[in-house]
């Protein structure tokens, strides 16, 4: 066990809103975790700037939680490094890392009042008396729970409990805050409200945040950068916009948002790839970003909002089903053996598409991407 952890478990000194003076740079290098023959986390490298808000996004079993548990120190890594501000912390026990952590199940101590829960990390750091009281009051204010200090966790709603958990994880001003599906147990309305609050609090305290979620909408709306994990591997890490508009692989394209995947044949010509589909009567030219060879089958990915529809009695495409969602209408269209979804904005005066209606469709080539059909 390393002894040089004094800076990691630094005592509380400054005011709550003070930034961490650029502490909280986290990086993992070739981090791997084996559970027997299974690689739960497989050679993941990721570098996070101080103050950045990064979401780890993936379905269950993708390794996102295991990665977080290794950063938190609850899980030993099999190989690779975890670095905090340039220092390797793999062998620092969790209780000396000094990271805040918020759990999905809140994990408030049921035998302590809210104030005692929040005072807990301060007491462990040697604070006593009025200092503790002042910090607790400040932390409660931060999460808008002033005056709740004397209650017990069981007397609070789920959303309030999670706010307390957040206050408890932030009260000792950790350079890094880890959140393990913190909103997973809450209903939709409350979740959206807390998402906003967490973003505001992040701005206010300036800690680095690593946020695990399986909800892509949550990841996109909250994080500065999103790291998509699948089968233990880091598939792509980028800003929400990069992930949505320039997915690097078909998995990410499929996982983030809605996406049509249309089967195409590929032909390479110079620096460009031509994706053709005879069924759809379609030909799209793309820069050959990936290794695509002529004659391969490929997938042309296009988001529903870039599929345009026009009513046309003589067209071969037909509306199968449609769903009206207020501002938009999602329309499922059958073209030969292929089905694709279009999203059209609803405007006054224009009738909605109906099942059985013949339509002509257009695909906006500028917003398509081509992937090899390796799925």
Partner 1 sequence: MPHRRDALGREHLLPVLLLLPIVALFSVGYIVPLAQLVLKSLQHEGAWSLKSYIEIANSPAFLWIVLKTLALAATVTIVCLLIAYPLAYAISKCPPRPAAFLLLIVTLPYLTSVLIRTYAWIVLLSPNGPVNQLLLHLGLISEPLQMVFNSVGVYVGMVQVQLPLMVFPLYAVLARVNPSLAKAAQSLGSPPSDAFLRVTLPASMPGVISGCTLVFLSSLGFYITPELLGGPDSYLIAQGISLRVLILGNFDEAAAQSSILMLTVIAVFLIFRQRIAEELDDRPNNNVSSTGKSSTGLSPRSPILERLTAVLHGPLMRLHEALTVVRRPALYVSAGLTLLLLVLPFVVVIPLAFSNAPYLTFPPPGYSLRWFSSLLKNTQWLDALSFSLRWAGLSALLSVAIGVPAAFALVRYRFSARVPVYLLLISPLIVPHVVIAVSLFFALAGSSLIDNPLAFALSYTIIGAPYTVVVMIAGLKRFNRTLELAAASLGSSPLVTLRTVTFPLLLPTLASGAIFAFIVGFDDVVFGLFLSGPTATPLPMRMWDNIRLEISPQIAVIAVLFLIVLALLMVLRLFVGAVVQGRRPQESLHA
Give the interface with partner 1 as residue ranges (CB under 8 A). 9, 35, 40, 66, 69, 72-76, 93-101, 103, 105, 107-113, 115-116, 119-121, 124-125, 132-133, 136, 149-152, 154, 165, 168-169, 172, 178
Is 168:112 a contact under the CB 8 Å cutoff?
no
Nearer to partner 1, 112 or 320 (CB): 112
Query: Do 222 and 211 form a contact (C-beta atoms < 8 A)?
Result: yes
Q: Cβ neighbours of residue 3 under 8 Å, at least 6 residues apart?
A: none
Q: Which residue has the tokens 């007491």?
A: 123
Closest by CA to 7, choosing from 101, 86, 111, 124, is: 86
Cβ proximity to partner 1: between 121 and 159 the closer is: 121
C-beta of 55 vs 108, nearer to partner 1: 108
Q: Residue with structure tokens 């080539």?
A: 365
By beta-carbon proximity to partner 1, the closer residue of 174 and 298 is 174
65 or 277: CB nearest partner 1? 65
Residues in a beta bridge with 42: none
Kindly tell me which of 88 and 367 has the beta carbon lying closer to partner 1.
Answer: 88
Query: Which DSSP state fits 358?
Result: E
CA–CA gap between residue 326 and residue 347 (Å, rounded): 10
Closest separation in Å from C-beta 117 to partner 1: 9
Shortest Cβ distance from residue 76 to partner 1 (Å)?
A: 5
233-261 b/e (C-beta count within 10 Å ≥ 16 → b): bbbbbbebeebbeebbbbbbbbbbbebbb
Residues 6 or more apart in contact with residue 151 via CB below 8 angstroms? 113, 114
Cβ pair 60, 51 in contact under 8 A = no
Q: Which is nearer to partner 1, 92 or 273 (CB)?
A: 92
DSSP annotation of 351: P
> Do 149 and 134 contact (CB within 8 A), yes or no?
no
């Amino acid at each position: 066990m390393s002894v040089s952890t004094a800076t990691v478990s630094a005592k509380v000194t400054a005011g709550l809103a003070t930034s961490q003076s650029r502490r909280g740079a986290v990086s993992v290098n070739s981090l791997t975790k084996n559970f027997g023959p299974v690689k739960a986390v497989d050679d993941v490298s990721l570098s996070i700037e101080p103050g950045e808000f990064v979401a780890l996004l993936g379905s269950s079993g993708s390794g996102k939680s295991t990665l977080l548990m290794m950063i938190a120190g609850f899980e030993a890594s099999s190989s690779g490094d975890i670095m905090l501000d340039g220092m390797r912390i793999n062998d620092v026990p969790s209780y000396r890392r000094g990271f805040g952590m918020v759990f999905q199940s809140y994990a408030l101590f049921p035998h302590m009042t809210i104030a005692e829960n929040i005072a807990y990390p301060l007491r462990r750091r040697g604070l006593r008396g009025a200092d503790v009281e002042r910090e607790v009051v400040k932390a409660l204010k931060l999460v808008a729970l002033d005056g709740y200090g004397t209650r017990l966790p069981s007397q609070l709603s789920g959303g309030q409990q999670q706010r307390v958990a957040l206050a408890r994880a932030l009260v000792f001003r950790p350079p890094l805050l880890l959140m393990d599906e913190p909103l997973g147990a809450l209903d939709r309305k409350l979740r959206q409200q807390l998402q906003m609050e967490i973003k505001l609090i992040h701005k206010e305290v300036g800690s680095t945040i690593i946020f695990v979620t399986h909800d892509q909408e949550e990841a996109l709306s909250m994080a500065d950068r999103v790291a998509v994990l699948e089968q233990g591997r880091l598939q792509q890490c980028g800003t929400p916009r990069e992930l949505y508009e320039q997915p690097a692989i078909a998995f990410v394209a499929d996982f983030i948002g809605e996406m049509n995947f249309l089967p195409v044949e590929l032909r390479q010509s110079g620096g460009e790839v031509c994706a053709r589909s005879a069924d759809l009567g379609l030909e799209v030219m793309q820069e050959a970003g990936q290794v695509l060879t002529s004659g391969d089958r490929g997938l042309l990915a296009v988001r529903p909002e870039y599929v345009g529809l026009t009513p046309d009695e003589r067209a071969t495409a037909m509306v199968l089903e449609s769903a009206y969602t207020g501002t938009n209408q999602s329309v499922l269209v059958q073209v030969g053996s292929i089905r694709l979804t279009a999203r059209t904005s609803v405007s006054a005066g224009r009738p909605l598409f109906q099942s059985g209606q013949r339509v002509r469709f257009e695909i906006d080539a500028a917003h398509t991407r081509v992937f090899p059909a390796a799925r």
